[in-house]
Amino acid sequence: MLILACVVMRLALVARWLRASRSAGQARRATLIHAGGITGVRLLRPASLLLPESAFFVALVVLVGTELAVPIIAERTGSTPWHPHHITERYGLFTLILLGESLPVGQATTA
Protein backbone atom coordinates (compact mmCIF):
# COMPACT_ATOMS: atom_id res chain seq x y z
CA MET A 1 0.00 0.00 0.00
CA LEU A 2 2.88 2.36 0.81
CA ILE A 3 4.45 1.83 -2.60
CA LEU A 4 1.10 2.59 -4.27
CA ALA A 5 0.85 5.84 -2.31
CA CYS A 6 4.39 6.79 -3.35
CA VAL A 7 3.59 6.04 -6.99
CA VAL A 8 0.48 8.24 -6.89
CA MET A 9 2.39 11.11 -5.28
CA ARG A 10 5.26 10.87 -7.75
CA LEU A 11 2.88 10.76 -10.71
CA ALA A 12 1.47 14.08 -9.54
CA LEU A 13 5.04 15.39 -9.48
CA VAL A 14 5.60 14.10 -13.01
CA ALA A 15 2.46 15.93 -14.15
CA ARG A 16 3.86 19.15 -12.64
CA TRP A 17 7.21 18.67 -14.41
CA LEU A 18 5.42 18.07 -17.72
CA ARG A 19 3.32 21.18 -17.16
CA ALA A 20 6.46 23.17 -16.40
CA SER A 21 8.13 21.88 -19.56
CA ARG A 22 5.56 23.62 -21.74
CA SER A 23 6.87 27.05 -20.79
CA ALA A 24 10.38 26.24 -19.59
CA GLY A 25 12.27 27.62 -22.58
CA GLN A 26 15.94 26.62 -22.23
CA ALA A 27 15.16 24.47 -19.20
CA ARG A 28 12.70 22.31 -21.17
CA ARG A 29 15.18 19.45 -21.55
CA ALA A 30 15.89 19.44 -17.79
CA THR A 31 12.18 19.35 -16.95
CA LEU A 32 11.62 16.44 -19.33
CA ILE A 33 14.56 14.53 -17.82
CA HIS A 34 13.07 15.10 -14.36
CA ALA A 35 9.70 13.76 -15.55
CA GLY A 36 11.19 10.80 -17.42
CA GLY A 37 13.54 9.81 -14.63
CA ILE A 38 10.85 9.93 -11.96
CA THR A 39 8.47 7.95 -14.19
CA GLY A 40 11.10 5.28 -14.89
CA VAL A 41 11.95 4.78 -11.24
CA ARG A 42 8.29 4.71 -10.23
CA LEU A 43 7.45 2.07 -12.83
CA LEU A 44 10.30 -0.14 -11.63
CA ARG A 45 9.45 0.21 -7.93
CA PRO A 46 6.30 -1.98 -7.98
CA ALA A 47 8.11 -4.44 -10.26
CA SER A 48 10.78 -4.84 -7.57
CA LEU A 49 8.16 -6.45 -5.33
CA LEU A 50 8.18 -9.48 -7.62
CA LEU A 51 11.87 -10.17 -6.97
CA PRO A 52 13.15 -12.64 -4.36
CA GLU A 53 13.98 -11.09 -1.00
CA SER A 54 17.74 -11.04 -1.52
CA ALA A 55 17.42 -9.34 -4.92
CA PHE A 56 14.74 -6.95 -3.63
CA PHE A 57 17.14 -5.17 -1.29
CA VAL A 58 19.74 -4.79 -4.04
CA ALA A 59 17.05 -3.43 -6.38
CA LEU A 60 15.86 -1.08 -3.66
CA VAL A 61 19.33 0.40 -3.19
CA VAL A 62 19.74 0.78 -6.96
CA LEU A 63 16.34 2.45 -7.31
CA VAL A 64 16.98 4.86 -4.45
CA GLY A 65 20.37 5.74 -5.94
CA THR A 66 18.79 6.25 -9.34
CA GLU A 67 16.06 8.45 -7.92
CA LEU A 68 18.67 10.59 -6.17
CA ALA A 69 20.69 10.82 -9.39
CA VAL A 70 17.79 12.04 -11.56
CA PRO A 71 17.88 15.68 -10.34
CA ILE A 72 21.68 15.78 -10.62
CA ILE A 73 21.58 14.55 -14.20
CA ALA A 74 18.66 16.79 -15.15
CA GLU A 75 20.20 19.96 -13.71
CA ARG A 76 23.43 19.37 -15.62
CA THR A 77 21.56 19.58 -18.93
CA GLY A 78 19.90 22.91 -18.18
CA SER A 79 19.25 24.58 -14.87
CA THR A 80 15.61 24.98 -13.88
CA PRO A 81 14.71 28.42 -12.55
CA TRP A 82 13.94 28.85 -8.87
CA HIS A 83 13.17 31.80 -6.64
CA PRO A 84 15.15 32.16 -3.38
CA HIS A 85 12.33 34.13 -1.73
CA HIS A 86 9.82 31.37 -2.49
CA ILE A 87 12.12 28.65 -1.14
CA THR A 88 12.78 30.66 2.03
CA GLU A 89 9.05 31.17 2.54
CA ARG A 90 8.32 27.46 2.06
CA TYR A 91 10.95 26.38 4.59
CA GLY A 92 9.66 28.98 7.03
CA LEU A 93 6.10 27.69 6.69
CA PHE A 94 7.28 24.10 7.02
CA THR A 95 9.08 25.01 10.24
CA LEU A 96 5.95 26.66 11.65
CA ILE A 97 3.82 23.65 10.80
CA LEU A 98 6.38 21.26 12.27
CA LEU A 99 6.60 23.22 15.51
CA GLY A 100 2.83 23.60 15.73
CA GLU A 101 2.19 19.90 15.17
CA SER A 102 4.88 18.78 17.60
CA LEU A 103 3.33 20.49 20.63
CA PRO A 104 1.18 18.07 22.63
CA VAL A 105 -2.50 18.95 22.72
CA GLY A 106 -3.58 20.50 26.00
CA GLN A 107 -0.03 21.31 27.12
CA ALA A 108 0.56 24.50 25.16
CA THR A 109 1.44 27.39 27.44
CA THR A 110 0.66 31.05 26.97
CA ALA A 111 3.17 33.76 27.68
The answer to whether 41 and 70 are in contact (CB under 8 A) is yes
- At residue 105, the pLDDT reads 65
Residue 104 gets the label, from left (phi > 0), alpha (psi -120 to 50) or beta, of: beta
d(CA 10, CA 35): 9
**Tens of pLDDT along the chain (111 residues)?**
777 788 788 889 999 999 988 988 888 999 999 999 999 988 888 888 888 988 998 998 999 999 999 999 998 987 887 788 988 999 999 999 998 888 776 655 665
Q: Show me where the domains of the chain are located.
A: 2-82
- CA-to-CA separations, 40 to 23, 50, 81, in angstroms, rounded: 23, 17, 24
Specify the pLDDT at position 64: 92
